[in-house]
Structure 1
Amino acid sequence: MNKFPVSRISPALNDPDLSVNIAGIKLRNPVIAASGTFGYGKEYRGLLEIAELGGICTKGLTLAPRPGNEGTRIHETPSGLLNSIGLENPGIEAFIEKELPALRELGPAVIANLSGSSIEEYAKGAALLDSSSIDMIELNISCPNVKAGGMAFGLDPEAAFDVIKPVRRSAPNKPLMVKLSPNAPDLAAVARACVKAGANALSLVNTFKAMAIDIRMRKPVFENISAGLSGPAIRPIALRMVWELCDAVRVPIVGLGGIATAEDALEFLMAGAVAIQVGSATFAHPPAMNEIISGIGDYMRQKGFLELRELDIRKNPGK
């Protein structure tokens, strides 16, 4: 439960401005539906006020359609969720033709999450998205659920640079946000390489590499052995990583990882994130993002903050 009561107060002259600008794209507020947890938006109609959201990240998109992983795909853990979906999606061309028009009508900014198994696949996918009506590309170089591509690019600064540079050339018209892997040995070095290669913003963290064993069957729960851990269990680690990267680079940081309440979101905003993404919490409680938006506004009213940037405790300590 939020510690800050949900309100539907009509905007007034002294109401806080929750809007945020990320690489030239203005969002009405800092709350974004995380990739892989919100489908293409339409799946949640009637379960929450979608139009109130700042943005929606699409499911991970690849150049060609993918069926996803076989076997178990979701496994609950204490305070967390393991997933091994495997980037199931219809392919970028089908997304643009069949899903994007309805997604645009929902209202929030549209952020297309782009994945791939090779530099060439990433670049070709980026070119297609660049000519579409999306607002921003979120480049996934960190997915731990696919054996080829994904995570390998996000672990090493040079590999990250090598994939981002051609994507930047292929998509010169769209802001590029790169989603980082928390599994990288030197995350700050990867982040700096991403910015050098042309990233306009960074989002972190993606899921942590983890696993589970079925003690009855005496075998790993997932076909791929490992899976991605999300949920409240990872939030303190994700928060620490966001704090550190806000010192390491000078581009907007979007924080995510176990955020479920306004209090959780405020921690990331105070750590320096300009916006946040919500994922696993939406499964358990679909209106969570609406409540987070209201809770952030209520907190700012209580403290007398008028703009989101005032929440950053390094830039505005002590209030």
Structure 2
Amino acid sequence: MSPVDFTTQLAGITLRNPLLTCSGTYGFGEEYTAYCPLESLGGITLKGITPLPRLGNPVPRLAETPAGLLNAVGLENPGLDEFVKSYLPKVRMLPTAAIANISGFSLEDYVQLARALQKDSGLAALEVNISCPNVKHGGMHFGTDPQSAQEVIAAVKAETDLPVIAKLSPNVTDIVGMARAVQLGGADALSLINTLLGMQIDIHRQRPVLANTFGGLSGPAIKPVAVRMVWQVFQAVDLPIIGMGGITTWQDAVEFLLAGATVVSIGTGNFVNPQAPLEILKGINDYCAQRGFASVRDLVGLAHN
């Protein structure tokens, strides 16, 4: 049986395979080295950074649900300067592609981050988070208004020589319209999807469980929504898609590839099983080999035929 070719192209980046990890679930990479060899992954998406350090939202800010996780972490991070000084040198040494995730509360925030992060930083790409659902200003506005989304992506694109990936929110009525807007802004790829806005109430205290009231729902519960949005955007927009949202098994990953994702990204699944990426890669390989696919690229969008 011939080996399956896992090599994947994403916005001009060559990845050894089509598997990434989602921002906010994998730290800055080294946190998982004891559990999963990073050289086995196509790449990792780093914890999101903002221009200034953030402590994030008050606790409690995590809550389990029957089929997922609510989080209202609120973009806790060390800030741009500390990232460049203390974390980026280590990121450069990681044995896989590293994608920085940038977030802001104004156009100027995104411009500042983009200017600071160029090809010579050792990063592979910038993922522009315009879709965080659990901060009180900024992100969600950019992620739900097509004109604002286009402006942010265009501003980032003008300031960096790295490929620009737009991370889109599912909390919209027209995901295709948002995808077209960021394509007009110059996005090189899309991440679909970020978390769905949700909440949980403690019936004993008669109060919201999360201190922030609302949080982002991730995990298996959102997978059907994510697959649907990947399917719709694949049909309408000619950009590579990073599919994410509830992927915990190889079957989930194959479903996203068939829907049109070029790459798949594991998020909450890493918390449940830190070796999930390795098991998913093996499953994709076996699936392709058993069905005679020479390359994983043959699966992308196949369900549309």
Q: 1:92-145 CA distances to partner (integer Å, 9 max, x unpaired)?
A: 221122112222322111000000000001111111112522110000000001
Q: Which residue identity does 2:130 align to in structure 1?
A: I
2:135 matches 1:137? no
In structure 2, how many angstroms separate the alpha carbons of the residues matched to 1:191 and 1:313? Answer: 17
2:283 matches 1:295? yes
Number of aligned residue pairs: 304
Over 3 Å counting, the alpha-carbon distance change for 1:247 and 1:313 in structure 2 is closer
Q: What does residue range 1-319 of structure 1 map to in structure 2 within 5 Å?
A: 14-130=2-118, 132-171=121-160, 173-314=161-302, 317=305
Contact 1:207 1:230 (C-alpha < 8 Å) held by counterparts: yes
Secondary structure of residue in 1 paired with 2:297: helix
Instruction: Provide structure 2 residue ranges, at least 5 long, that are not aligned to the other structure.
Output: none
Identity of aligned residues (%): 48
Question: Who is 1:8 aligned against?
Answer: none
In structure 1, how many angstroms separate the alpha carbons of the residues matched to 2:127 and 2:14? Answer: 15
**Per-residue deviation, 1:166:** 1.0
In structure 1, how many angstroms separate the alpha carbons of the residues matched to 2:106 and 2:20? Answer: 28
Secondary structure of residue in 2 paired with 1:121: helix
In structure 2, how many angstroms separate the alpha carbons of the residues matched to 1:188 and 1:40? Answer: 31
Secondary structure of residue in 2 paired with 1:76: strand
In structure 2, how many angstroms separate the alpha carbons of the residues matched to 1:223 and 1:208? Answer: 17
Q: Which residue identity does 1:309 align to in structure 2?
A: R
**Per-residue deviation, 1:316:** 8.1
**Per-residue deviation, 1:315:** 7.5
**Per-residue deviation, 1:314:** 3.8
In structure 2, how many angstroms separate the alpha carbons of the residues matched to 1:313 and 1:259? Answer: 17
**TM superposition score normalised by structure 2:** 0.97
The ranges of structure 1 where at least 4 consecutive aligned residues each deviate by more than 4 angstroms after the TM superposition are: none
In structure 1, how many angstroms separate the alpha carbons of the residues matched to 2:187 and 2:287? Answer: 32
In structure 1, how many angstroms separate the alpha carbons of the residues matched to 2:159 and 2:209? Answer: 39
Q: 1:1-34 CA distances to partner (integer Å, 9 max, x unpaired)?
A: xxxxxxxxxxx8x211111111111110111010
Q: Which residue identity does 2:139 align to in structure 1?
A: G
Contact 2:234 2:301 (C-alpha < 8 Å) held by counterparts: no
Q: 1:205-248 CA distances to partner (integer Å, 9 max, x unpaired)?
A: 00000001111211111222110000001101110110000011
**Per-residue deviation, 1:312:** 3.0
In structure 2, how many angstroms separate the alpha carbons of the residues matched to 1:82 and 1:272? Answer: 27
Q: Which residue identity does 2:294 align to in structure 1?
A: L
In structure 1, how many angstroms separate the alpha carbons of the residues matched to 2:193 and 2:153? Answer: 18
In structure 2, how many angstroms separate the alpha carbons of the residues matched to 1:109 and 1:314? Answer: 26
